[in-house]
Structure 1
Amino acid sequence: EDGIYAARDRYGRTPLITGRRDRAYAVTMESSAFPNLDYEIDRYLGPGEVVRITPDGIEQLQAPGSEMQVCSFLWVYYGYPASSYEDINTEEARYRCGAALARADRGDGVTVDMVAGIPDSGTAHAVGYANETGLPLKRPFVKYTPTWPRSFMPQDPSVRDLVARMKLIPIRSLVNGQRILFCEDSIVRGRQLREIVQRLYDFGAAEVHMRPACPPLLHGCRYLTFSRSRNILDLASRRAIKELEGADDRHLDEYADPASERYGAMVDRIRRTLKLTTLKYQTLPDMVQAIGLPRSKLCTYCWDGCTGPCARRG
C-alpha cells in the first residue's frame, strides 16, 4: 500500500528505468518493455538511487551517487537491441562497434566476399561493418529459436554445444566457395565458435575471418552472473596464455595490450585453435568510444582487470 520501491545498485552495474503513461507508472531494467505498452521513458535511475512509485507520481528517497560502473557487456552482448541504457540505444552502439572494426581493418589487405554476423548479437555489429565498408551483408546462418535458450547460459559444456548447434542452420549456397568475414559480440569460451567455424568449412567456405566486437576476455566477471565461468580456464584467452606460458596468470597486463608481442601470440594461438583465416579483436578504446560513455563510468574488468581507481579513468 506504500507503493513500489525501486533501487538501483550502488555502482549502477545494471540499469533501472522508470516510465509513465497517463498517471500510470512503471519500472524496468529494459526500456524495450515500454513502447508496446504506450509508456514513455521517465528517467534512468542513477547509481544507488532509490525511488517510491505511487499513483501520485515518483518520489526520490535517495539521490544517486557520483560513481558509476555500468556493465559494458550490455551494449556489446546481452542487452536487448530495442533497449536503451543510460539513454544509449543498444542496436546503434553495436553499429558503431562494427564500424570501428571495419576502420581498424583498412589497409590490412584482407579481401572477403561478404560480411555476416553470428546470430543474434553479432548481427548488428556486422551491419555496422558492412555499412562502413560497402561490402555485401548476408546471412549464411539462420537461427532456429523455438525451445532453445541462450547458448552461453548452461554451465554444462555438452548442453551449451548442443544448444549452439541446433540453433544455427547454415545455408550451403551462401557458404560454398566464399570468403566470409563474421562479426561476433565476443569470444568467451570459444568452444561453440570452433564448431561453427568447422561447420562452415564442411559446407565449403573458402576462408573464415572473425572480428569480435570487444577485446579478449582475460577475467571472469566478479560482479554479475552474465559471464561467470566455473573455471578461469573456461576463457579462451586464459587457455591460450597457459599454453604459451605454462600458467594462465602470467603477464596479464601485457596480454591486455594490443601493441605487445604477447598479445599477438595469444591472439594467434586462439586463431589457430579456432581454425580461422584471420582473427582481429576490437580494442578497448574503440569499444568504449562506440558505446558513448566516458571510460570512468563503464566497468571494463573482464578485459583489463581494472577495479577501484584504475576503473575511474576518464
Structure 2
Amino acid sequence: MGGFFGTISKSACATDLFYGIDYNSHLGTRRGGMVTLHGDTFHRAIHNLENSYFRLRFEGDLEKFEGNSGIGVISDTDPQPIFISSHLGKYAVATVAKVNNLEDLEKELLDKGCHFMEFSSGQTNQTELIALLISQGETLLEGIEFVFEKIKGSCSMLILTEKGIIVARDKWGRTPVVIGKKDGAYAVSSEPCSFPNLDYEHIYDVGAGEVVLLTADSMTQLREPNKKMQVCSFLWVYYGYPVSDYEGINVDAVRSACGMAMARKDNVDADYVAGIPDSGIGMGLGYAEGKGIPYRRAIIKYTPTWPRSFTPANQKVRDLVAKMKLIPNKKLLENKRVIFCDDSIVRGTQLKDNVNILYGYGAKEVHMRIGSPPILHACPYLGFTASKSAMELITRRTIKELEGDDSKDLDQYASTDSKKYNTMINNIREKLNITTLKFITVEDLLDSIGLPEGSVCTYCYNASIPKD
C-alpha cells in the first residue's frame, strides 16, 4: 500500500523527515524515497527496500538533505517522489494511490503531447502520471481537483513547493492523512504514530478531499472536505498501527472491542486465548476479557529480521516469511484447547501452516476467531493484500468448488449465518483443519469502530459502493 510523511520547519528538517518516514515502514517495503528543498534546489534519494529497511538504506544519504522542508514515502508501487517542472513551477510529488485507469489516462496525456520519463515494473510510474495530471490545471489546486475527477481508485498526495507543502487527501478519504504541530514546525503523515517521539502533537485529521497548505508556522485550508467519507475498515483490522488514532478512533481499542463482541456471542469452551502477532493481539486481549478466561502468549513473533508477510512482492517469499516469523510456545500448547484470534484470512496460506504447527506441538483443539468478516472481493481502492485477484482469496476458491462459479450468489455468501455463508465457513474450516472457525460480522466490526453510518468502506466484505 504505502505511507508518506512531510515536514516544514524554521530549522533543518532532515532528521524529523528521516524518522517520520521510517515510522510509516509497516505500510510497505518495496521502495522508499525522500526529498528536501533548499532555496530553489531539490535534494532527492530513492532506494529499493525489498532486501533492507528504510533506515539502513537512507542513513548514508542524510548529510545531503539540506533545507527546512521535505517529503518522503514508503511505496509498494512506484519509485517516488517525482520532480516536475511545469508552467506551475517546480515541485515534488509523493502519493499513496491506486490508479485503476492508468492506461486510459496515459493515452489521454500522450495525445495532449505530454511525455513520460519514469517506468516501474514495465509500466508508467503512477506518481509521475498524477504529477502530469496536476500540471493540467491553471493552479496547483485546480490540478489536484483534476486528479480527483480523473482517477478511478484513490489518491492522497503531498506536493513540496517553494511556498510550502500542499496536502491533499483522497476524495473519499480511504486512507488517513493527519497533521501534527510543534514549536516552529508542522508535519503531515499517513501514520499518527510517527508524531510522539518527534515531539509533534496530533492536531488535525485532514478530511476526505480536503486540501491544506503547510508552512513552518501556519496551516491554511485550500479546499473544504467533502461531506461523505469512506475510510478503509482494514485500517483498524490489520494495517493500522496499534497506538494510532484515525478519525479519533484508536486502533487497539477497536481490536479489543471486536474481540469482546465476538466473545459475548461465543459458547466455545477453552483453556485460554492467544493472539496471532501482531494484529491479532489486541483482539485476543479483548476476547479473553469478554470471555473471562486467561490470555497466554502461545505464539511469539520473531521481530529482529522478519518483516510483515504481506509486503514482499513475490508470493513464495510472502509464504516463507509468514511461516518463519512466528514461533509457537510448545509448553503452553501441549494438550490445551486454545482460542486463537487473528485479524483476517485472505489466502489461508499463513493460517494453514500455523495450524499444522500448533497441532504438531500438542494442541488438543484449535479454535480460530477472525477480526474481519470473510473477504469476498478484491479491493479496487487500495494496494494491499486484499486487493489481489479474487481467485487468490480462499473464500472465492471455496465458492468455486461449491458452485462451479466463484462469482455465484456472492450476496448470500456475504450474509452472516445464511445457509451458503455457513457452508462456506465450514468448508474453509475443514480445509484448514480447525476445530471451530468464526468471523466477526460486518455489523459488529462497524459498531466497534464507531464512526457514523456510511463513513467506513466495507467493499471487500460485501461490495458496498457509496453513492456520490
The reply to whether residue 142 of structure 1 matches residue 281 of structure 2 is: no
Q: Does the 8 A contact of 1:11 with 1:70 survive in 2?
A: yes
Offset of residue 23 of structure 1: 3.1
Partner of 1:270: 428
Aligned counterpart in structure 1 of residue 283 of structure 2, from 120, 125, 129: 125
Conserved? CA contact 2:207–2:226, under 8 Å: yes
1:186 to 344, 363, 377: 344
Following the alignment from structure 2 to structure 1, what is the Cα–Cα distance between the partners of residues 385 and 462? 15
**Is 2:375–2:386's contact at 8 Å kept on the other side of the alignment?**
no
Contact 1:209 1:277 in 2 (8 A): yes
Displacement of 1:55 in angstroms is: 2.0
Deviation at 1:230, TM superposition (A): 4.1
Aligned to 1:43: 204
Q: CA deviation at 1:228?
A: 4.1
Say whether residues 1:52 and 2:213 are aligned partners: yes
Structure 1: stretches of 5+ with no match in the other structure: none
Larger Rg: 2
Which amino acid letter does the alignment assign opposite residue 218 of structure 1?
A: L
The alpha-carbon deviation at position 80 of structure 1 amounts to 0.4
User: Could you say what secondary structure the match of 1:295 adopts?
Assistant: coil
Tell me the CA shift for residue 82 of structure 1: 1.0
Residue number in structure 1 paired with 2:96: none
Cα contact 1:9–1:47 (8 A) shared by 2: yes
Unpaired segments ≥5 residues, structure 2: 1-161
CA distance in 2: counterparts of 1:27 and 1:55, whole angstroms: 12
Query: Does the Cα contact within 8 Å between 1:220 and 1:302 map onto a contact in 2?
Result: yes
Give the TM-score normalised by structure 1. Answer: 0.95
CA distance in 2, matches of 1:249, 1:275: 25
SS at match of 2:293: coil
8 Å CA contact 1:151, 1:160 repeated in 2 = yes
Look up the match of 1:111.
269
The letter of the residue matching 1:74 is L
* Alignment correspondent of 1:97: 258
Letter in 2 for 1:142: I
Cα distance per residue 1:273-292 (max 9 Å; x no partner): 01000001100000000011
Distance 1:145 1:189 in 2: 23
> What is the rounded CA distance, in whole Å, between the counterparts of 2:313 and 2:398 in structure 1?
21
Q: Percent identity?
A: 53
Quote the offset at 1:149 in angstroms. 1.7
Structure having the larger proportion of residues in strand: 2
Counterpart residue type for residue 298 of structure 2: P
Q: Which residue identity does 2:323 align to in structure 1?
A: R
1:238 to 396, 414, 420: 396
Cα separation, 1, equivalents of 2:355 and 2:381: 31
Quick one: which amino acid aligns to residue 216 of structure 1? P
What CA deviation, in whole Å up to 9, does each residue of 1:185-205 have, x standing for no partner?
A: 011110110010000000010
> After superposition, where does 1:200-239 map in structure 2 within 5 Å?
200-239=358-397
**Partner residue, 1:281:** 439
Seen in structure 2, the aligned counterparts of structure 1 residues 57 and 229 have a Cα distance that, compared at 3 Å, is: closer
1:199 to 350, 357, 380: 357
- The whole-number CA distance in structure 1 between the counterparts of 2:251 and 2:219 is 26
| Aligned with residue 300 of structure 1, among 411, 434, 458 | 458
Seen in structure 2, the aligned counterparts of structure 1 residues 171 and 3 have a Cα distance that, compared at 3 Å, is same
Q: CA deviation at 1:158?
A: 2.1
User: Of the candidates 212, 222, 228, which is equivalent to residue 61 of structure 1?
Assistant: 222
Query: Normalized against structure 2, the TM-score is what?
Result: 0.64
Alpha-carbon distance in structure 2 between the residues aligned to 1:229 and 1:270: 20
Per-residue displacement from partner, 1:68-103 (whole Å, max 9, x unpaired)? 010000001100011110011101111101111111
- Distance (Å, rounded) in 1 between the aligned partners of 2:310 and 2:182: 36
Is 2:160 the partner of 1:2?
no
Letter of the 2:300 partner, please give it.
Answer: V
**Residue 308 of structure 1: CA displacement?**
2.7
The amino acid that maps onto 1:215 is: P
Q: In 1, distance between residues paired with 2:216 and 2:358?
A: 55
Greater relative contact order (CA < 8 Å, ≥ 6 in sequence): 1
For the aligned residues, what is the CA RMSD?
A: 1.2
Question: Contact 1:11 / 1:69 at 8 angstroms: preserved in 2?
Answer: yes
| One-letter code aligned to 1:293 | L
Q: Describe how 1:8-87 pairs up with structure 2 within 5 A.
A: 8-87=169-248
Whole-Å separation in 1 of the counterparts to 2:340 and 2:252: 17
Deviations 1:211-240 (A, max 9, x none): 001110000111000124543111111111
Q: How far apart are 1:2 and its partner, in Å?
A: 0.2
**Secondary structure of 1:287's aligned partner:** helix
Partner Cα separation in structure 2 for residue 99 and residue 14 of structure 1: 26
